[in-house]
């Protein structure tokens, strides 16, 4: 049972390049989340998807787009990367049925030069 899988683990981009971060969960969870974490700060919510077919903005959505491809997969796209998007990105899925516990992927460490 893999839980939440994120790819890639590391990525270096040049300013203006685009990329998609992939996230998949095998726990049949309804809700999925994308966060970024900058040094010395907590996790800030970029986008979330409370159920398949829905997405909502979080605290810091500018410069990002998401796709809830199906119940398992939730991708995050940077259309034109900027140095300010250098961060660690975490994907999470949340259990259903009232417990609201989130399970996290191992993170993607992204540097934009």
Partner 1 sequence: RKEVEQDPGPFNVPEGATVAFNCTYSNSASQSFFWYRQDCRKEPKLLMSVYSSGNEDGRFTAQLNRASQYISLLIRDSKLSDSATYLCVVISNAGKSTFGDGTTLTVKP
Q: Which parts of this chain interact with partner 1 (CB under 8 A)?
A: 31, 33, 35, 37, 40-45, 48, 50, 56, 58-59, 88, 90, 92, 94, 99-107
Least gap, CB of 16 to partner 1 (angstroms):
27
Nearer to partner 1, 72 or 104 (CB): 104
3-class SS of residue 51: coil
Least gap, CB of 93 to partner 1 (angstroms):
11
Decide the pairing of beta strands 10-13 and 108-112.
parallel
Nearer to partner 1, 27 or 50 (CB): 50
CB neighbours of residue 41 within 10 Å: 9
- ω before 95 within 30° of 0 (cis)? no
Contact 47, 66 (CB under 8 A): yes
Nearer to partner 1, 63 or 103 (CB): 103
């Amino acid at each position: 049972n893999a839980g939440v899988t994120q790819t890639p683990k590391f990525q270096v981009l040049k300013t203006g390049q685009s990329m998609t971060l992939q996230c998949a969960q095998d726990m049949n969870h309804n809700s999925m989340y994308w966060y970024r974490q900058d040094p010395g700060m907590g996790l800030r919510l970029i986008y979330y998807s409370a159920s398949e077919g829905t997405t909502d903005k979080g605290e810091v959505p500018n410069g990002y787009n998401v796709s809830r491809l199906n119940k398992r997969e939730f991708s995050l796209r940077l259309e034109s990367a900027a140095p300010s998007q250098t961060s660690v990105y975490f994907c999470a899925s949340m259990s259903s049925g009232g417990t609201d516990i989130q399970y996290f992927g191992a993170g993607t460490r992204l540097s934009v030069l």
